[in-house]
Each structure stands twice: as C-alpha cells, then as structure tokens.
Structure 1
Amino acid sequence: MSGEDTVFVALFSGINVGGNRIVKMAELKSFFEGLGFSDVANYVQSGNVVFRAEKGNAAALAKQLEAAFEKKWGFNSRIMVRDAAWLERLVEGNPYPEVAGEPTKLHAYVLEREPTAEETTRLAEKCTGPERFEIKGDVLYLHAPDGIGKSVFANLIPRTLKVPGTARNWRSVLALREMAGKVGG
C-alpha cells in the first residue's frame, strides 16, 4: 500500500431489486478486482462495495465503474462513489442521533449533488406525514418512524427532488463505515 491509496465505497442504485437486474455479489467483487482495485469487500445484495484505489477521485471512479459495469452486465446502474472520510462525516453528521438505534427507521440518501434551495423547498412541501428529513450537502437523512416500506413520502423523494441518488438504511451505513475502517486500518 502506498501513501496515495484511498479507501472508497461504491453504492449501486437499482440492482437486485424485486428480482430484477440481478448481480451476484461474488461476481461484483471479482469485477472490482479485475479493474485493479484491492481490498475489495461487499455488503448485502443491494450493491455496496468497499475498495482501495491507488489513484483517482470519486467522480472519475464513478464514471469508470458505470461504463465498465454497463459493458459487463448490459444495463446501467448509477453508482455513487465516496471516500471513507466522506462516509465518516455522513455518520457524524446524523441529525437524528436519538433514532440511530432503530436502523430500519433511519436512512441516508447519497445524492449525486447537493440539492438547490428550490429543490429542497419543493420536497419539504411534500413532507406532511410522520417522516422528517434534513439535507446536509449531498446527503438526505430521512427518519421514517413507520419504516421506509410504509412511507408515502419516501416514495416521493426521487421524483420530487429530481436529484439522482441511492438510499441505505442506518444499519448498512454503519456496516460500510466499519468495513471502510478495516480496509483503511
């Protein structure tokens, strides 16, 4: 490992959902290794990969991975790539620490970019149920007290906000942070 190595997390959107766009995690791990990344580990079936890259920034890695992924599997998956320090900030920035112990009721949406004030206002107007959310940079934190599966508001987020992203429950967020720490340590 050189001093320039960086630990990243790649979060895939829209794979292994409802029996569609199936990608086996062992194949995904081999895919990353075949691209020259090291210390590759994945978490659950929804497409979460922690890896080490010798060089490159998150945006360039996302473009590289998306192109190679589409070539191999024949369909597009938007991939959010962030470094381990970003993931640590996401966890530390949780505006709802009182519900962190209920990981299925707390979610982090990793967004392609920070939403504009207008986009955020439009989303806030739709938040009329028991849910609450806060946006910090390129992360939307959602507390859904009845769970995301029963949340009408959660289903409105993508089409109302119109900023591409992918959501993970708090258990997944914490597991990825732990994995990144082990790879980086």
Structure 2
Amino acid sequence: MTTTYAALLRGINVGGNKKVPMAELRTLLQRLGHGDVGTHLQSGNAFFSSDRGDEDSLAAELSDAVERHFGFTVDVLVRDHAYLRAVREACPFPAAELEAKQVHVTYFSAPVDPGRFASVDPAAFLPEEFRLGDRALYLYAPDGLGRSKLAEVLARPRLLKGLTATTRNWNTVVKLEELTGA
C-alpha cells in the first residue's frame, strides 16, 4: 500500500547554514525510490509517496542520504497524511481566526510526557499559550515566534533532551496536510 508522507528537515537553509537546495532534495528522494516527490518553501519541507518502511525508518533513510550527499547531518521527521490531518484538526487554538504567524506546531520524534514541561509556568507568559498534542506541541504566540518568550523557554535543551523537534507555522502545517492528501 502506498502512503503519502511529509519529511520535515530541521535547521536547513537558515542563516546560510546547512544549505540544501530543494531541487537536490527532490532528486535525493527520487533516488531513494519514492514517488510523487515535491517540496514546499525553502525551509526543509518535502512530500513523497512510498510503499515501504514506516515514519522512523524513512526519516533515518533520508537523514543518512542527506549526510552522504551534502556532508552534514540533518535531523528529519517523517509524518504521514493521516497524522498531519489529525494534528491540524486537534489544534486547541482558533487557527482560522488568527494570523498564521501566531500559531505554530512543534513536531516531536516521540510522544512527550506533560511532566517534561511542568517547570514552565503558563501564567508567566500570558497571553502566549501552549498545549501538548500527540508528538506535537501547539504554540499561540500573538506577536509571532521571533518575539515569543514562551517559545524561547520551550526550546531549551533540557526540556527537549532526547527528542528531535522542529517547528512550523500554521500556514505550513495546513499546506503540508493538503500536499500529502492529494
């Protein structure tokens, strides 16, 4: 059975570091035997179809291929269309009523115990808010991610220890769900 996936590459094409041209990423995915390959934006969003593997094995395969081809390591998360749709539908914030820069989703490599974030006092960051989902964290940052004090705290290495995490704004969350559903 063929499944459509999104690959989320962490930390590429930011500030001139870890440059991964999207055309080369598409070619790399095709060489790995995947079909219906495409990319979205320049920030490490790809989509493809595959009839083999699972999310974790596909992510490891792509991460290894990127390292071999480009000479640096990149963390990769792969999520199927059903999961991306579930994340979109489970958003605890009224995303349709907000600007895309105000709502973000951080995708995690594994489920996260809420106790991991117990040291974060939500009241100290209002009106910013966060909620945990299934392998995802939803962030409402009314002034955007770049100005968010809460996002800064949530990204601390001690809170994310042992996880791969990568964040996308709401427009990208929606677009990836649409692109993998085609």
Provide the identity percentage.
37
Report the equivalent of 1:174. Answer: 174
Output the TM-score relative to the length of structure 2.
0.92
Q: Distance in 2 between matches of 1:180 and 1:174?
A: 10
User: Does residue 96 of structure 1 match 2:93?
Assistant: yes
- Which runs of 4 or more aligned residues in structure 1 lie more than 4 Å from their structure 2 counterparts after TM superposition? none
User: 5 Å matches for 1:112-151?
Assistant: 112-122=109-119, 124-125=120-121, 128-129=124-125, 130-151=127-148
Which residue of structure 1 lines up, in the alignment, with residue 159 of structure 2? Answer: 161
Task: Give structure 1 stretches of 5+ with no counterpart.
Answer: none
Q: 2:61 aligns with which of 60, 64, 67?
A: 64
Q: Could you tell me which amino acid in structure 1 is paired with residue 159 of structure 2?
A: L
The aligned residue for residue 15 of structure 1 is: 12
**Shift in CA distance, 101/117, structure 1 to aligned 2, threshold 3 Å:** closer
Gaps in structure 2 of 5+ consecutive residues:
none
CA distance in 2, matches of 1:58, 1:32: 14
How well do the aligned residues superpose, as a CA RMSD in angstroms?
1.5
Aligned length in residues? 178
**CA shift at 1:46, angstroms?**
0.6
1:66-85 equivalence runs, <5 A = 66-85=63-82
Which of 21, 25, 40 matches 2:22? 25
State the SS of the aligned residue for 1:49.
Answer: strand
